[in-house]
Amino acid sequence: MAAALHLSAVNSTPPDTSIPSTILKPSKLSPPIPPSLLLQRVTGPKSLKQIHAQIIKSRCTQALQVQIKLISLYSLFNQMDSAELCFQRIPSKLQFAYNAMIRGYSTHGFPEKALLLYSQMLYSHSPPPDKFTFPFILKACAALSALSEAREAHGRIIKTGLTPDVHISTALVDFYMKLCEVGIARQVFDNIPLKNTVCWNALIAGYAHNELDVEAVDAFKWMIELGFQPSSSTMVSVLPAVGRLGDLEEGKLMHKLIIEKGIEIKESVINSLIAMYGKCGETETARRLFDEMLEKTAVSWTVMISTYARNGKFAEALELFICMQAHGVKPTAVTVASILPACADMMHIKLGMKVHGYSIKNGFDLDIIMSTALVDMYAKCGCIAEARCVFDEMPERNIVSWNAMINAFGLHGQVMDALEWFALMQLDGMKPNGSTFVSLISACSHAGMVAEGLECFKSMSKDYDLVPETKHYACVVDLLGRAGRLKEAFEFIKAMPSEPDDSAWGALLGACRIHKDVELGRMAALKALELKPREPGYYVLLTNIYAGSGRWADAQKLREVMKEKKILKEAGCSSIENGGIVHSFVVGDSKHPEWKKIYKKMEEIEEKLKEEGYVPDTSLVLHEEIEKSERLAIHSERIALAFGLLKIPDGIPIKITKNLRVCADCHSAFKHASRIYKREIILRDLRRFHRFGSGNCSCKDCW
């Protein structure tokens, strides 16, 4: 019945132009064309149906071969219902019939059905699976993350003596890599007797998938050295790894190699090259490649836009975003989502809102990744109410969405809200993960809520079956240390079940700076530098501790060590948005076109501050800098504040973001300024938000 319906549907479809009319209307004079020949003319799903109808009408005897070819073609064109009908009608089930069905199910999104047929092969009187069966079974297992099923299949592969088959081994490498079983994947790869390009590709793609970028690049070099010809897939797999490593030299070599080896330059290869150059900071090279592309897809535009966004070229990113649409290419949710983190980073709320508007118009705000990025963007731009609004409107939420909201509250010092949302997420059936607890504990830490923070930490293993990672230990050290409980923090590090990493010692070091403990601080710094010898932050913190306790000679010596080792401390940089443009300032900046005006305003501010009782806090500045204590006044956030007071109209909060932590002196100056100028000032530093108003700060001086 179903077959009849099916065929009548075929007859009503208009003729496929690709089929010669002789097939559709066979002349009575000439003998019917044999079915096997007819099937060779199939070009797509439409012609397949028509030819199938033709075969049935011609009443030729249908050889098993023809029936199997039909199954194979239907499953190739994703017509699984028709394939299933043919499959059920053949009397003796052969391996290729099964294989064709399993191929269709596993490549067209029905992995469960593929595994069901496989178990039918195993447990009924069917033919056993063969070397053509296993690659599809492993693909289905990968789609379902079915480790035990794959292991069973792997055992059967070994028992049947199929281990040396390169197709099967490649599928095994791919499967284990996708489930992050890198060691097993490598073992399977090493046992392949006759390797080829494709199995190398699976290994390299697998390493890249697991972000083992050095391994991916090494495997690539090794493959070339052994004389294998890389394909475009090889390049597409290895280039993201090079990009993440930021290894421009290696990337250039690979670009050259693509040309030398005559690798087919597909669109995907160029997209990967653009992304690689973008991640290495070479926006101009990336743009040149992009401009030379003949066929740009939405992915190409997205890659170029995110290249600009990643490198802080927001005007170019937005321009390209508009240009893309003018070229009739529709941005995807990924395109717009890739602009948002940049808006968040620069506190470019105007651009963020524009992107939000565009997303609503196109229904992207329903995309979970997109809306989570919006929550994060609004929160990092200081708009916690808007973040909350987007969160409330989300049609669905995953763990990342909840974490973004909890983290948002923490950033804004709203611990009680963070804890409440933590309870809400569980009522919603969501299980917290490691990142949830990082947000929670650091939220408690910033609010000085030691007991609650410790409770969270204990609870994660006791109630949530999570193993605390080094980052959680570092959070607890920060929690205890910040509250002045340095001894306990130290004991906590010593009691860690695994070797502490530099971040734990770094947290203790930071706490020692706040509470001015030279001896413990020195020890923590030595430990941290032992584990991460070139981290400028650790040098700077220890120098600050020395200077703060009057040990100028030690401070000076440390500075010289830094100079000698060519360790540069990161330059402080503050940004502020006005009129849709983000203005950035660094320490002692005089590059801004209006810098003279800004400095004049700054002098005025400093004078007013001093009149109103502000006393510069020079305790954390180096000796030589104290001599000219006005240098304090040139910290980048002070320039940004002057710019804000100069440009942003009364009554509108001034929003500034800084790439490092705000220093105690600037913090005190901002408090005074908020009172004197009757202005709300919102400062986001490396860690959190400070909301200044009427002479106070939301952080309650605890940061």
Q: Which residues bind DNA (CB under 7 A)?
A: 36, 65-66, 68-69, 72, 94-96, 99-100, 103, 107, 131-132, 135-136, 139, 165-168, 170-171, 174, 196-199, 201-202, 205, 208-209, 231-234, 236-237, 240, 266-269, 271-272, 275, 298-299, 302-303, 306, 332, 334-335, 337-338, 340-341, 368-369, 372-373, 376, 398, 400-401, 404
Question: Around Cβ 546, how many Cβ atoms within 10 Å?
Answer: 24
Distances (CA, A) of 544 to 313, 347, 478: 34, 29, 18
- Residue 297 CA to residue 320 CA, distance in Å, equals 13
The smaller minimum CB distance to DNA, of residues 298 and 523, is found at 298
Q: How far is the CB of 281 from DNA (least distance, A)?
A: 14
- Residue 610 CA to residue 387 CA, distance in Å, equals 38
Burial 602-638 (b: 16+ CB within 10 A, else e): beebbeebeeeebebebebbbeeeeeeeebbbbbbbb
Q: How far is the CB of 259 from DNA (least distance, A)?
A: 16
The smaller minimum CB distance to DNA, of residues 217 and 303, is found at 303
CB 368 within 8 A of CB 397: yes
CB 29 within 8 A of CB 55: no
Q: How far is the CB of 672 from DNA (least distance, A)?
A: 35
The smaller minimum CB distance to DNA, of residues 40 and 498, is found at 40
- Residue 692 CA to residue 675 CA, distance in Å, equals 9
The smaller minimum CB distance to DNA, of residues 27 and 61, is found at 61
What sign for the dihedral angle of Cα 545, 549, 550, 554? negative
Q: How far is the CB of 331 from DNA (least distance, A)?
A: 9
The smaller minimum CB distance to DNA, of residues 234 and 544, is found at 234
Which stretch of DSSP H or E encloses residue 563?
helix 552-564
* Angle, CA 241 vertex, CA 106 and CA 314 arms, to 5°: 105
Q: What tokens were used for 359?
A: 């997303």
Helices 368-380 and 399-411 cross at an angle (nearest 10°) of 0
Q: How far is the CB of 174 from DNA (least distance, A)?
A: 4
The smaller minimum CB distance to DNA, of residues 22 and 398, is found at 398
Q: What tokens were used for 202?
A: 């699976």
Q: How far is the CB of 67 from DNA (least distance, A)?
A: 10
The smaller minimum CB distance to DNA, of residues 202 and 512, is found at 202
Distances (CA, A) of 569 to 208, 559, 562, 660: 31, 11, 9, 11
Q: With CA atoms as reference, report the closest residue to 178 among 215, 198, 208, 149.
A: 208
Amino acid at the residue 668: S
| Chain position carrying tokens 């203005």 | 583
> Which residues have a Cβ under 8 Å from the Cβ of 44 and sit 6 or more positions away?
16, 18, 77
Sheet with 581-586: strands ordered across = 581-586, 573-578, 654-658, 681-684, 689-693, 696-697
Q: How far is the CB of 556 from DNA (least distance, A)?
A: 42
- Residue 402 CA to residue 575 CA, distance in Å, equals 28
Q: How far is the CB of 391 from DNA (least distance, A)?
A: 12
Q: How far is the CB of 332 from DNA (least distance, A)?
A: 6
> Which residues have a Cβ under 8 Å from the Cβ of 689 and sit 6 or more positions away?
382, 411, 412, 413, 682, 683, 698, 699
The smaller minimum CB distance to DNA, of residues 286 and 632, is found at 286
Q: How far is the CB of 249 from DNA (least distance, A)?
A: 20
The smaller minimum CB distance to DNA, of residues 197 and 498, is found at 197
Output the CA torsion 467→473→479→483 (10° steps).
140
Question: Around Cβ 357, how many Cβ atoms within 10 Å?
Answer: 11
CB 54 within 8 A of CB 81: no
Q: How far is the CB of 103 from DNA (least distance, A)?
A: 6
The smaller minimum CB distance to DNA, of residues 266 and 551, is found at 266
The smaller minimum CB distance to DNA, of residues 8 and 297, is found at 297
CB 375 within 8 A of CB 390: yes
Q: How far is the CB of 144 from DNA (least distance, A)?
A: 14
Q: How far is the CB of 240 from DNA (least distance, A)?
A: 4
Cα-atom radius of gyration of the chain, to the nearest Å?
32
The smaller minimum CB distance to DNA, of residues 237 and 575, is found at 237
Q: What tokens were used for 676?
A: 């004197």
The smaller minimum CB distance to DNA, of residues 334 and 676, is found at 334
